[in-house]
């Protein structure tokens, strides 16, 4: 999802969440390719940065996200 930022540079922000690669396809470059496509699309939309949301318990996924250049930052969410 691309949404407008009303602060800082006022450039759009790319939001990515609910990313899962089936276990039998992990380690084959599918996730990396998926993120390359997502990030290319974000650049085409002139996004300033990408926010990636991942559950706390998904530690294996977090290692993958770190390997492809994402930094872990603190955030908050509230279910409605």
Position 15 scores a pLDDT of: 96
Is residue 59, in this structure, part of any structural domain at all? yes
- Per the structure, the count of domains in the chain is 1
CB 13 within 8 A of CB 3: yes
Q: How many other β-carbons are positioned within 10 Å of the β-carbon of residue 62?
A: 16
Give the pLDDT confidence of 48-73 residue by residue, as tens digits: 999 999 999 999 999 999 999 999 99
For residues 41-50, b (16+ Cβ closer than 10 Å) or e, as one string? ebeeeebeeb
Structural domain that includes position 44: 2-67
Question: Any idea what the CATH number is for the domain that residue 12 is in?
Answer: 3.40.630.30
Is residue 12, in this structure, part of any structural domain at all? yes
Position 9 scores a pLDDT of: 80
- Starting at the edge strand found earlier in the chain, the sheet holding 2-3 runs 2-3, 13-17, 49-53
Is residue 72, in this structure, part of any structural domain at all? no
Is residue 76, in this structure, part of any structural domain at all? no
């Amino acid at each position: 999802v691309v949404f407008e930022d009303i602060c800082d540079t006022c450039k759009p922000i790319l939001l990515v969440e609910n990313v899962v690669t089936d276990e039998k396809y992990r380690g084959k470059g599918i996730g990396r390719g998926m993120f390359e496509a997502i990030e290319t699309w974000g650049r085409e939309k002139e996004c300033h940065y990408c926010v990636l949301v991942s559950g706390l318990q998904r530690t294996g996924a977090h290692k993958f996200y770190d390997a492809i250049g994402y930094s872990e930052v603190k955030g908050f969410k509230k279910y409605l």
